[in-house]
Structure 1
Amino acid sequence: MPKTQETVLEIDLNALKHNYQHLKNKVHPETKFLAVVKAFAYGSDSVEIATYLESLNVDYFAVAYVSEGIQLRDAGITKPILVLHPQSVNFETIIERCLEPSLYSQYVLNAFIEVAEAKKQQNYPVHIKFNTGLNRLGFSEKEVTQVSDRLLKTKSVKVASMFSHIAASEDLNEKAFTLNQIQTFKNITQEFKEQIGYHPMMHMCNTSGILNYPEAHFDMVRSGIGLYGYGNSEKADAFLKPIATLKTIISQIHKINTGDSVGYNRAFIAKRPTKTATIPIGHADGIGRQYGKGKGFGVINGKKAPFIGNVCMDMIMLDVTDINCQEGDEVVLFDKKTTAASFSETANTISYEIITSITQRVKRIFLK
């Protein structure tokens, strides 16, 4: 690729294909694959990513909110779309746009059935979420009979899947806890199937679950972060390719005298003659104020230049004292080699946060 002349996020669709195929090969051929494209497809572009994955014949998509599902339907996505955290105010829209809700509490279960019956639906697909230990969303084990009784009283909906979420699938120190979650899910779903009289799909594994717990692949697996190139461990990362490269340029170089300050609140005071580079990206683009003051860096001509001072809304200053560079040179914040995981570690956070934070103000370029 030619050097950039502005701030861009390059998305490598070949890397996406590689990650999808790698993860797909980890499961049985008959096991369905759900691609999680919430949060603007983890900060890339949900429409472009979903369209490409649909061409690769992914089985299902998942989003967090109804608005995200609407965007995919408006773009022509036809595969089933699971809405993981729907709100009752959007239930009519869910049906109108052929989205499939996760029903995780008595309130949302009853509210959705009420809307489905009012719209004279028959066997509308819904997904029942059970809480097996994450304690975030989901019916408890003791609610199984109450849920099944309610479902048996209506013909407006039919359960497409039963699912849960592993709390620590990437942490093998928590293997005992995870195995207990898996067994709890098996117990719940066995009871639930017997009570409703049919066998919906079962799914529990996220990316790390796919890699670490093949016994829990069941009928479908879900992958989010893995598709975008991160596997939550060095071992897993070795087989994945980050799809996103965030790069920009040096707008201006300054020579700072000893004792002079840089940026807002004089957050950096030069202890020696210092050369700084200002780049056109800031917290309005997703590089938050937890970075700066030595946290975060850009790679210029193969060398790391740490952020200095506070991150500004539209600009960041880097220390390039010991780097041979000039205005207009390319600055890479993260890519396949210097990953978002290593960038985020400088501020004690995770790859998920930085890649999903890159705002839509940053121009996306898709490499096919």
Structure 2
Amino acid sequence: MPKAQQTVLEIDLQALKHNFEYLKSKLQSNTKFLAVVKAFAYGSDAHKIAQFLQELNADYFAVAYTNEGVELREAGITKPILVLHPQTVNFKVLIEHCLEPSIYSAKILNEFIDVASKENQTNYPIHIKFNTGLNRLGFSQNETDGIVSKLKNTKVVKTKSMFSHLAASEDLNEKDFTISQILTFKEIAKSFEKGIGYKPWLHMCNTSGILNYPEAHFDMVRSGIGLYGFGNSEKENKNFKPIGTLKTIISQIHTVKKGESVGYNRAFKSDTVLKTATLPIGHADGIGRQYGKGKGFVTINGQKAPIVGNVCMDMIMVDVSNIDCNEGDEVIVFGKNTTAENLAITAETISYELITAVSQRVKRIFTQ
């Protein structure tokens, strides 16, 4: 790729293919693969990513909200799309675009059946979510009989899958808890299938579940962060390729005299003469203020340049006193070598937060 001339997010589709194929290699041939493309495909580009994964024969997609699914349909995605957190106000639109809702409470179940009935639906596919320990969304185990009773008395909807979500699949210190979640889910599934009279697909594993708990792959698995290049452990990170490289350039270089300050609120005051570079990227682009004051850094000509003072809305200043660089030089914020995880750690957060925060005003460039 040519050197950056502005702030851009380069997205490597071959890295995406590598990650997809690596995750698929962990599965039995008949286990379906659901690609999670919510949050603008984890900050990359949901349309392009889903189109590419559809070409690679991903079986299913998942988004958080209905509008994300609508946008995928309008972009030409024809594979089934699961909406993980549908809101009742959007049920009619969801049906109009052939999206499939996660049903996680009695209220949501009753309201979806009501809307689907008014839309003259029969056997509309739904996905029943059970809470097995994450305590975020989902029916409890003791609600199983009530759900079964409700579903047996309607032809408006039909359960395509039932699923749950692992709370700590990446943390092997929590292995006992994860195994207890898996066993609880199996118990619920057995009771649900017996009551309903047919077998829906079962799915529970996220990326770390795929890697660490093959016994819980069931009929389908769901991967988000792994597709984008992160394995949630030092060992597994080596098997993945981050797909995104966030680049910018040096707009201007300043010499800061001893005693002078840099940036808003005079958050940095120099105790010596130093050289700073101003970059056209800030918290409106996804680099939060928590990365300022020397915590975060960028890479210029292979060397780390710590962020000086507060992060501005559209700019950051970095210390380049010991770096041979010029205005217009390319700057790597994160990428394949210094990853988003490396940078996120400096602000005591995770790669998920950093990559999904990259603003859509940052130009996306796709490479093969």
Aligned twin of 1:172: 172
Displacement of 1:225 in angstroms is: 0.1
Residue 144, structure 1, aligned to residue 144, structure 2: yes
1:48-67 alignment to 2 at 5 Å?
A: 48-67=48-67
Which whole-Å CA distance do the structure 1 matches of 2:119 and 2:71 have between them? 23
Question: Could you tell me which residue of structure 1 aligns to residue 271 of structure 2?
Answer: 271
Superposition deviation, residue 283 in structure 1: 0.5
Q: Who is 2:359 aligned against?
A: 359
Shift of 1:271: 1.1
Q: CA RMSD in A?
A: 0.4
Mapped partners of 1:161, 1:295: distance in 2: 44
Instruction: Map Cα deviations across residues 162-221 of structure 1 (whole Å, 9 max, x no partner).
Output: 000000000000000000000000000100000000000000000000000000000000
SS in 2 for 1:317: strand
CA distance in 2 between partners of 1:295 and 1:37 (Å)? 30
Question: 1: distance between equivalents of 2:249 and 2:277?
Answer: 9
Shift of the alpha carbon at 1:344? 0.5
Kindly provide the CA deviation profile for residues 212-244 of structure 1, in whole angstroms up to 9, marking residues without a partner as x. 000000000000000000010011100000000
1:309-348 → structure 2 map (5 Å cutoff)? 309-348=309-348
Q: Which residue of structure 2 aligns with residue 199 of structure 1?
A: 199
AA aligned opposite 1:17: K
How far off its partner does 1:118 sit? Answer: 1.1
Q: Find the residue that maps to 2:142 and give its secondary structure.
A: helix
Aligned residue pairs: how many? Answer: 368
Deviations 1:243-262 (A, max 9, x none): 00000000000000011000
Is 1:119 the equivalent of 2:128?
A: no
Q: Residues 156-171 of structure 1 correspond to what in structure 2 (within 5 A)?
A: 156-171=156-171
Which amino acid letter does the alignment assign opposite residue 133 of structure 2? G
CA distance in 1, matches of 2:266, 2:116: 59
Separation in structure 1 between the aligned mates of residue 94 and residue 53 of structure 2, nearest angstrom: 22
Q: TM-score, normalized by length of structure 2? A: 1.00
Following the alignment from structure 2 to structure 1, what is the Cα–Cα distance between the partners of residues 296 and 62?
31
SS at match of 2:162: strand
Hey, what does 2:41 align to over in structure 1? 41
Q: Structure 2 matches for 1:90-105, cutoff 5 A?
A: 90-105=90-105
1:176-191 correspondence runs (5 A):
176-191=176-191
Spell out, residue by residue over 1:38-59, the C-alpha distance to the aligned partner (whole angstroms, 9 max, x if none).
0000000000000000000000
Partner SS, residue 289 of structure 2: coil
Query: Counterparts of 2:334 and 2:119 in 1: how far apart (Å)?
Result: 48
Which amino acid counterpart does residue 159 of structure 1 have in structure 2?
T
1:117 Cα deviation (Å)? 1.0
Match of 2:225 in 1: 225
Question: Are positions 1:259 and 2:259 aligned together?
Answer: yes
- 1:110 corresponds in structure 2 to 110
1:136 aligned partner, one-letter code: R
Q: Please tell me whether residue 70 in structure 1 is matched to residue 65 in structure 2.
A: no
Aligned counterparts of 2:231 and 2:109: Cα–Cα separation in 1: 34
Look up the equivalent residue of 2:287 and give its one-letter code. Answer: I
* Cα-to-partner distance string for 1:264-297 (whole Å, 9 max, x where unaligned): 0000000110100000000111111111001111
Distance 2:304 2:29 in 1: 43
SS at match of 1:290: helix
Q: CA deviation at 1:119?
A: 1.2
Aligned residues: percent identity? 69
Q: Structure 1 residue 333: deviation in Å? A: 0.5
**Residue identity opposite 2:364 in structure 1:** R
Give, as a single letter, the amino acid of the residue that structure 1 aligns with 2:140: S
| Distance apart, 1:23 and its partner CA | 0.1
Runs of 4+ in 1 over 2 A off after TM superposition: none
Deviations 1:62-120 (A, max 9, x none): 00000000000001100000000000000111110000000000000000000111111
- Report the Cα distance in structure 2 between the residues aligned to 1:295 and 1:99, rounded to whole angstroms: 42
Report the Cα offset of residue 139 of structure 1: 0.2
Query: What aligned pairs does 1:240-251 form with structure 2 within 5 A after superposition?
Result: 240-251=240-251
Q: For 2:323, give the aligned amino acid.
A: I
Measured against aligned partners, the alpha-carbon deviations of 1:3-39 in whole angstroms (never above 9, x if no partner) come to: 1110000000000000000000100010000000000
Unaligned segments of structure 2, at least 5 residues: none
Which amino acid is the alignment partner of residue 36 of structure 1?
Answer: V
TM-score by length of 1: 1.00
Unaligned runs of at least 5 residues, structure 1? none
- 1-side partners of 2:139 and 2:295: how far apart? 41
Q: Per-residue deviation at 1:339?
A: 0.2
Alpha-carbon distance in structure 1 between the residues aligned to 2:208 and 2:357: 22
